[in-house]
A = this chain, B = another copy of it.
Amino acid sequence: MRSEERVLGIVETARAKRPRFRDELVTMAHGAGGKASQTLIEGMLLPELGSAALAELGDAGAIEVDGVGMALTTDSFVVRPIRFPGGSIGELAVNGTVNDLAVSGARPLALTVSLVLEEGLPATELRAEVEAIAAAAEAAGVEVVAGDTKVVERGRCEKMYVCTTGAGRLDPRASLSTRAIEPGDRVLVSGPVGAHGTAIMLARDDLGLEAEVASDTRPLWPAVEAMLEEAGPHLRCLRDATRGGVASALNELARASGVAVQVGEGEVPVAPAVAAAAELLGIDPLYIANEGVLVAFVAPEGAAAALAALRSAPGCGEAAEIGAVLDEPPGMVFAETGFGGRRVMDLLAGDPLPRIC
């Protein structure tokens, strides 16, 4: 156990390190989920909007209505192209939002969908995405209860942007927080990493690579519910490893809890086609976006049960324990390489993969 002073010291260090937003212009990097995004969020949005729910920096905000605990989350999707192997923007928008609820320990209940459409969009493409939204909502067990549609002039968006917001009921078995992670906790991932971002890159014309990689987009509530049932009290924190991949998720949580995270590079499941594409592109698969992979921090005594529960969930058969939590240096994530070495896995400064979600 860390002493109270120790905890306060860490919190103060983290506070002192809150980044300031000093950039003069918004750049693509501010939307990429790395350091620039963090600076925008923590250096401008949080101080201005600062509610307790936002300051938690979770995937969803918690609210209480007449004693009922709920979670709300929102995401805009601007993925290019809108259709790719394994999914499309409509399916992604539903799964991305229900997953943010799921990793917050909330059963997804209802969605709202707001569309910004480009003038000239073929009606068939719109209909296909509306169908994809309906199918994904049904698969995830949520109802679309409100919507909005705007149209902007040709060129002022790219086919469509989709904003989905989800409401969920906080599950009483969960007590998750970005600040709850303790030294000794184990780190699990729910499946092979990097498929979504790789599929998007390959789907873009400009790369000239060909490989059979499909997005991993899927709803994660079944995986979360299985873990809650088998290891509920031992779960510290869950996160959907989307933009910036598993490495960025680990960095955000290491920082929020004031702990270090050590990952065994060889323990991380990566599909061979993803590994090959990532090597050609010179990108570490741990930094590539996923849309159906979560990271779980679990107390050591619950790790085996949580891993077994994860593996029983649809699409999570290859879940693995990939690392553990250390007490210092606070906020740092490092990988143990296969040769007994260590390397720091920091947040990326730049933007290797714009608009993957």
Say yes or no for A338: interface residue by CB 8 A criterion.
no
Given contacts A24-B122, A53-B143, A109-B65, contact A76 B148 (CB under 8 A): yes
Given contacts A30-B117, A49-B147, contact A167 B126 (CB under 8 A): no
Max chain B Cβ within 10 angstroms of own Cβ: one of A37, A66, A151: A151
Say yes or no for A114: interface residue by CB 8 A criterion.
yes
**What are the residues of chain B within 8 A of A66 when measuring CB–CB?**
68, 169
Q: Which of B72, B120, B161 is within 8 Å of A110, CB to CB?
A: B72
Interface members, chain A 79-137 (any B CB < 8 Å): 109-110, 112-123, 126-127, 130-131, 133-134, 137
Interface members, chain A 137-152 (any B CB < 8 Å): 137, 143-152
State the CA gap A129–B110 with chains docked (Å): 28
Given contacts A51-B145, A148-B76, contact A110 B63 (CB under 8 A): yes
Tell me the minimal C-beta distance from A122 to chain B in angstroms.
6
Q: Which of B54, B118, B355 is within 8 Å of A145, CB to CB?
A: B54
Tell me the minimal C-beta distance from A211 to chain B in angstroms.
25
**What are the residues of chain B within 8 A of A157 when measuring CB–CB?**
152, 156-157, 161
Are the CB atoms of B27 and A151 closer together than 8 Å? yes
**What are the residues of chain B within 8 A of A163 when measuring CB–CB?**
74, 76, 114, 163, 165
Say yes or no for A41: interface residue by CB 8 A criterion.
yes
Closest to A155 in B: B155
Say yes or no for A75: interface residue by CB 8 A criterion.
yes
1/0 contact string of A206-235 vs chain B (CB within 8 Å) = 000000000000000000000000000000
Are the CB atoms of B109 and A63 closer together than 8 Å? yes
Say yes or no for A26: interface residue by CB 8 A criterion.
yes
State the CA gap A169–B37 with chains docked (Å): 33
Given contacts A44-B127, A49-B137, A161-B116, contact A145 B27 (CB under 8 A): no
State the CA gap A134–B113 with chains docked (Å): 23
Say yes or no for A193: interface residue by CB 8 A criterion.
no
Tell me the minimal C-beta distance from A134 to chain B in angstroms.
5
Say yes or no for A198: interface residue by CB 8 A criterion.
no
Say yes or no for A286: interface residue by CB 8 A criterion.
no
Are the CB atoms of A143 and B72 closer together than 8 Å? no
Q: Which of B65, B110, B167 is within 8 Å of A169, CB to CB?
A: B65
Say yes or no for A250: interface residue by CB 8 A criterion.
no
Are the CB atoms of A123 and B72 closer together than 8 Å? no
**Residues of chain A whose beta carbon lies under 8 Å from any beta carbon of chain B:** 21, 23-32, 37, 40-41, 44-45, 48-49, 51, 53-54, 60-63, 65-68, 70, 72-78, 109-110, 112-123, 126-127, 130-131, 133-134, 137, 143-153, 155-158, 161, 163, 165, 167, 169, 354-355
Q: 11 more A-B contacts (CB under 8 A) besides A48-B130, A51-B144?
A: A41-B149, A45-B130, A45-B147, A53-B110, A53-B143, A61-B112, A63-B109, A63-B145, A72-B167, A78-B152, A156-B156
9 nearest A-B pairs in the assembled complex, by CB-CB distance: A61-B145, A31-B151, A74-B112, A165-B165, A163-B163, A53-B145, A61-B146, A26-B121, A76-B114
